[in-house]
Amino acid sequence: MKFVLIALALTFSVSSFAKHEKLIKACEGAAIDILQERAEKLGDEMIVESIKVDEVDARALNPFKYVWFKGNTVKTGEEIILLMQKPIGGECRAYSTFYR
């Protein structure tokens, strides 16, 4: 059920990145799991509805594509920004995490 809510929230944020929908879909499952893990390490949990795509870098000649996901935690409201990297023909992986 949580995943369905997250997927719906991400669908709304994907609309502005419609041409990158395939890339976003390839990374979102792993990104959601990693964001939740990062929040747990802070002793908190993610507000599922707050997770959204913040930015996409999918330049044609770059062999790596990047998607930034962000969301807020429940207790502190801290924003966690996760940069996912996807090589051509490869799997998405966490590249960097930022906390605000």
Q: What is the pLDDT of residues 3-28, one digit of tens each?
A: 544 554 554 444 567 788 999 999 99
Please give the Cα distance from 68 to 84 (Å, whole number). 6
Helix (H) or strand (E) holding 41: helix 21-41
Please give the Cα distance from 94 to 64 (Å, whole number). 13
Report whether 95 contacts 66 (CB < 8 A): yes
**Domain-by-domain residue ranges, the chain?**
2-99
Summarised one tens digit per residue, pLDDT across range 72-96 is 999 999 999 999 999 999 999 999 9
Tokens of 31: 């990104």
